Amino acid sequence: MTLFPAPARTSSVAAMMHMILLRLLSMTLSLLVASVVIFVMLQAVPGDPAAFMLGLNAQPDTVAALRTELGLEGGLIQRYVAWVGGMVTGDFGTSYTYRVPVAGLVADRIVVSGPLAAYALILTLIIAIPAGVLAAARRNRVSDWGIMGFTQLGIAVPNFWFAMLLVAFFAVYLGWFSAGGFPGWSTPVQAIKALTLPAIALALPQASILARVLRGALIDTLDQDYIRTARAKGLSRRATVIRHALRNAAIPVLTILGLQFSFLLAGAIIIENVFFLPGLGRLIFQGITQRDLIVVQSVTMLLVFAVIAVTFAVEIAYTLADPRLRRRSAT
């Protein structure tokens, strides 16, 4: 017996692979353009890092020797090719200030920034999902207006203001948390406790955005015919929302969630400085103040890669989760 759906299934898989290859090409081009922009902008910063490190009274031959040691000699294109080629092989260069490989500095700091972003993302989901569901289920009521008012406040207030308020209340007034610093992962409980206030400060604005997006998606879903059919069959409103509406409304939320994780990872520079956390954001800030350009451009490029990679993964997951997009890619 011949199975007719096989060609259609093969065509769908081929279309999916074609879409993935196009996304990979787009991601590669985006990384290439980003690397050029980052390198050119930082090279355009006035001043000589070698002269800055040696001070005003440094001799020209000493400055020239240090420039050679730091790899600052040669043309712009030559230095760009050397930098990109090193990153491809995992060599991000050597820090001008610390005289250690930048890859080692990144490895030491990512163990703070990565868990902080993941912690903030978990808190974002814990806050946003119940708030969005409740607001959609009770739309145009007092609870809906109250939740939307709080989310508007969460979007309007910068996260560093939340950080300072949290420090003033929970660290200074109540004394429940430390005002800053990171004890290391040798004491996991204290490490998680040190990341709690920064994670809350990062999560509140993102949770506000996600709650509003989820509310809008749920309201659109609750007006669909299959929701009314489920209600007509006797399902309670809560069961209808959880079993049917929430699952379908989660598809557009997936895109926002992926972008938010990228933002939490790359946008924590101010928060890490407020709480004196030794993460990637603070490393970039220190590199800027110390004119350690190789650290700034390498870490910035790494964060750009993380943002683009997460966006790529979200696009693939979105296509896999939505059958309409799979059918569209197959046609």
Neighbouring residues of 31: CB distance < 8 A, sequence distance ≥ 6: 304, 305, 308
pLDDT at 200: 92
Asked if pLDDT for residue 194 goes beyond 80, the answer is yes
277 with 182: CB under 8 angstroms? Answer: yes
The pair phi, psi for residue 177, each rounded to 5°, is: -130, 160
pLDDT at 199: 92
Question: Closest by alpha carbon to 128, among 221, 218, 20?
Answer: 218
- Mean pLDDT across the chain, nearest whole number? 79
Q: What is the mean pLDDT of residues 229-252?
A: 72
Q: What is the pLDDT of residues 102-147, one digit of tens each?
A: 888 888 888 898 899 889 989 998 998 888 888 887 888 888 888 8
pLDDT at 311: 80
Q: What is the mean pLDDT of residues 217-242?
A: 73
**54 burial via Cβ count (<10 Å: 0-12, 13-18, 19+):** middle
Q: What is the pLDDT of residues 24-64, one digit of tens each?
A: 888 889 888 988 888 888 776 666 666 656 566 666 666 66
pLDDT at 123: 92
The overall pTM is greater than 0.75: yes
Which of 17 and 154 is assigned the larger pLDDT? 154
Pick the range with the lowest mean pLDDT from 119-128, 188-197, 231-240: 231-240
SS (H, E, C) 256-308: HHHHHHHHHHHCCHHHHHHCCCCCHHHHHHHHHHCCCHHHHHHHHHHHHHHHH
pLDDT band at 1 (very low <50, low <70, confident <90, very high): very low
Percent of the chain residues past pLDDT 70, beyond the cut: 79
46 secondary structure, DSSP code: S
